[in-house]
Structure 1
């Protein structure tokens, strides 16, 4: 890898040509663009959510008649099984480095969903303080923006904060991985890869970077790297479990490497899981099972110990884009504008126990408990917003606005989380406990 240390953060973004010259003849969103692989210009499908003249006047947690239960499941006793309880990481002090901690609009209720001023987002609202729309990147209770890290020229596709490191890593569709100093917020290095990054994760000292036809494995302690060359097409998602690396690729396959320390190549290909007919969009693990979502609109379940298929879930009517294991529940979101909560029956099958409807397609899920122990779900939609929901009620706690669709969301320690804004800007946020946010405003 060619590592360059930049002189500053003065990189100028390239103007996206995504919609230039495109005259969509259909009102349908392009599913291939959702995962960044549409190569048609012009494309007859939409490459962004069309603007809506009004916003749904009320967010309701009432369940539609077709939901199998009258109450959502109880998440309050569970812990997020995908987050290590021991964060051996330095305190991140980006707020003091930027000197610009922004607080959100205090809105006591979100029953009437807020609407951000699109002209303000573009930097050209002429109404100023007289504008009736929101001039803020977010609104709600107990949310603070700590920093905006500028450098990537295209959307970020993966964010990682390795244990024991004082660097934050971000991979982008601009073909680079950037290293950010957790104390100063400055860019500490740029890795030029030459190909679009489809995803990026970390495990121990290893950074794994999914790219077309390859997964790059880089050890941040020894600086050694390996190319895992088996995938076919872009690698869109990865996960580590049982000392194995799983990578979902464009051809519908899931490649599996077993860690083999002490050998010349510490990664041994041990399997290829076949079953999906289209791109694998998301992976997660929980309770000795691997879950995979695909553009074929299905979720497949695999046994981790044997790598054998267990079942296929087909309740979504469009592509599932993100999967999340939380205690005994599996959460899935889809371009069909739903978030589904699955639970295992006595017979071992997974059934939908609750369905939450959104007004737009859902691109990413992430969740954690705040310092009060309240489970909070982050839900990125293709209307350029991120919703923060309290579970189990799905009461909206806040909303984050972006210039473009957000596909990268990552949880950090101590209530921190990181998001892309679709343009390459990496945002650092802090979620406060409800009790703390109330005390601050008294």
Structure 2
């Protein structure tokens, strides 16, 4: 049985996740005001909130790229769930960078998977982090935890002392759950930002997710399942080694283990608790990431491969090779599968007319990729969050992959999770947990979608 510690907390009239949102206004675009540093040829902010033009209403110039495919445009309906990758009969790969999606009675359109090539040039000032920068506003490095507009750091939650390995905000709960390598699960009150409980399952936390009222925690040789409504607690046995990835698909729970296997649990009419129904064998090394979409399970592994599993038969349909290091994260978006790896590559996969997935685009980062996560902003635009080993998280607009902004941290961001509306969370290698709010463009409305 797990041990639970609880702590007292005070009350406030305003939720802590909304208390600091006014900070974002200083990073929004300031209309009709010319940047004085730009006039002096000394502005190093990209993007800058002031005009880099003598005209108060500069006309945006289309950016050119040496890549002939980098300027394709499109309008595409996007979703982070149910990407329908299996509808391969309607997908034709005509070139490595140009995917045409067609079906009877529908006009064919180009999907731009090209990378804009724009990169944030600034880096975080380490002297500012420690409060010792003597240059002030004249410092060439960034004095902020993020660059770009439409983003606000709401608060930092400090209690863990080792890497945060999972964050979840269960449905209908006012508590945020975070798991860590320090062998604890912290419960945070969303109204006060205070840690109101600590759960100690008895070992390192490999991952943590939620589905409905359930919170699932990956442990050594087991998975803890906790219903926050009924307070039911289950311990699911069967995995070999630390469970580092969990996902729910239909009525099944999948857990990726350290030995490369994927254990499947399913609730039956005879039993109230889930029972193991299958072991999916094939990966040679630890499974690091799992995602469900289009009636398939996708698994990324330390063996540098991605496996595609049929949800009905639980058979492996395809092995995706192409990465040259650990596949740390897999994500479904629209009709595409995205994969990130420590080989510095972000790959975009799409189904051919024969049903197999092939790479249709590749984005090269400067550092290894640790985590991928998808979110929509207040204008329902899809945003990809990509965490890298240089202690930053890049925000990409999809499908253009134009860089929208960047988050900076003192440590590697190993976990990214979304909350309600525009809220998302980042967990660092030393235990720092940050709460962020994403807005639309500077000219867009602010609020929950």
- Normalising by structure 2, what TM-score? 0.76
The verdict on how the C-alpha distance between 1:378 and 1:82 changes in structure 2, with shifts beyond 3 A counting, is: farther
Specify the alignment match of 2:337 in structure 1: 330
Name the Cα RMSD after superposition: 2.7
377, 391, 394: which one aligns with 2:398: 391
1:232-275: CA deviations, max 9, x gaps? Answer: 111110100021000001100000000236735x1110000000
Distance 1:72 1:4 in 2: 55
115, 140, 149: which one aligns with 1:132: 140
Tell me if the contact between 1:384 and 1:405 (Cα under 8 Å) persists in the aligned partners.
yes
Tell me if the contact between 1:215 and 1:235 (Cα under 8 Å) persists in the aligned partners.
yes
Aligned length: 364
Distance 1:387 1:142 in 2: 14
> Structure 2: which 5+ runs fail to align?
11-43, 48-62, 84-116
The verdict on how the C-alpha distance between 1:303 and 1:135 changes in structure 2, with shifts beyond 3 A counting, is: same
How is 1:150-229 mapped onto 2 (pairs within 5 angstroms)? 150-229=158-237
The verdict on how the C-alpha distance between 1:330 and 1:110 changes in structure 2, with shifts beyond 3 A counting, is: closer
Specify the alignment match of 1:285 in structure 2: 292
Compute the displacement of 1:203 (Å): 1.1
1:81 and 2:89 equivalent? no
Compute the displacement of 1:438 (Å): 8.5
Specify the alignment match of 1:245 in structure 2: 253
Distance 2:73 2:270 in 1: 45
Name the SS of the counterpart of 2:413 in structure 1: coil
391, 401, 406: which one aligns with 2:413: 406
The verdict on how the C-alpha distance between 1:75 and 1:6 changes in structure 2, with shifts beyond 3 A counting, is: farther
Tell me if the contact between 1:258 and 1:267 (Cα under 8 Å) persists in the aligned partners.
yes
The verdict on how the C-alpha distance between 1:392 and 1:178 changes in structure 2, with shifts beyond 3 A counting, is: same
Specify the alignment match of 2:3 in structure 1: 2
Compute the displacement of 1:435 (Å): 4.6
Distance 2:64 2:396 in 1: 11
Tell me if the contact between 1:340 and 1:355 (Cα under 8 Å) persists in the aligned partners.
yes
Name the SS of the counterpart of 1:232 in structure 2: strand
Distance 1:224 1:304 in 2: 27
Distance 1:142 1:177 in 2: 31
The verdict on how the C-alpha distance between 1:409 and 1:82 changes in structure 2, with shifts beyond 3 A counting, is: farther
Distance 1:393 1:249 in 2: 35
> Structure 1: which 5+ runs fail to align?
10-54, 84-108
Specify the alignment match of 1:297 in structure 2: 304
Compute the displacement of 1:373 (Å): 2.4
1:258 and 2:266 equivalent? yes
Compute the displacement of 1:228 (Å): 1.2
Name the SS of the counterpart of 2:238 in structure 1: coil
Specify the alignment match of 2:325 in structure 1: 318
Distance 1:111 1:292 in 2: 30
1:354-410: CA deviations, max 9, x gaps? Answer: 111111111111112212122111000000000001111111111101111111101
Compute the displacement of 1:73 (Å): 8.6
Max Rg structure: 2
> Stretches of 4+ moved more than 6 A in 1?
none
Distance 1:111 1:296 in 2: 30
- Normalising by structure 1, what TM-score? 0.77
Tell me if the contact between 1:250 and 1:279 (Cα under 8 Å) persists in the aligned partners.
yes
Compute the displacement of 1:429 (Å): 0.6
1:306-353: CA deviations, max 9, x gaps? Answer: 100101000111111101101111000111111111000110000111
Tell me if the contact between 1:145 and 1:428 (Cα under 8 Å) persists in the aligned partners.
yes
